[in-house]
Amino acid sequence: MINKEITIRLENGLEARPVALLVQVASQFESSVYLETGDKKVNAKSIMGMMSLGLDIGEKVNVIVEGADEKEALDGIEKYLSGK
């Protein structure tokens, strides 16, 4: 298991379309991917869970990844949330 705090750099934060794209990115990997902020921890492969976070640009989120391709999954999520 690995985790990393990432600052969201998406122009409009995590609204409906960016959340759907993030779920697509997370779903490409075999590993379990969770985003944690405050007292909430949600599955990054769940659109409803991700929408419940309501994250904005500049907010920090802890990404927790566990599985066979965890390094690649973390890199993919970080790249997406960083707006690269």
Give the domain range for residue 77: 2-81
Q: What is the CATH number of the domain that holds 65?
A: 3.30.1340.10
pLDDT of residue 31: 98
Backbone angles phi, psi at 25, to 5 degrees: -60, -50
pLDDT of residue 67: 97
pLDDT of residue 55: 87
Query: How many domains, the chain?
Result: 1
Task: For residue 26, give both structure tokens.
Answer: 């997370």
Q: In what order do the strands lie in the sheet with 32-37?
A: 2-7, 60-66, 32-37, 40-43
Chunked into runs of 10 residues, the chain (84 residues) has average pLDDT values of: 95 85 96 95 96 91 97 97 87
Pairing label, strands 32-37, 2-7: unpaired
Task: For residue 83, give both structure tokens.
Answer: 């707006």
pLDDT of residue 66: 98
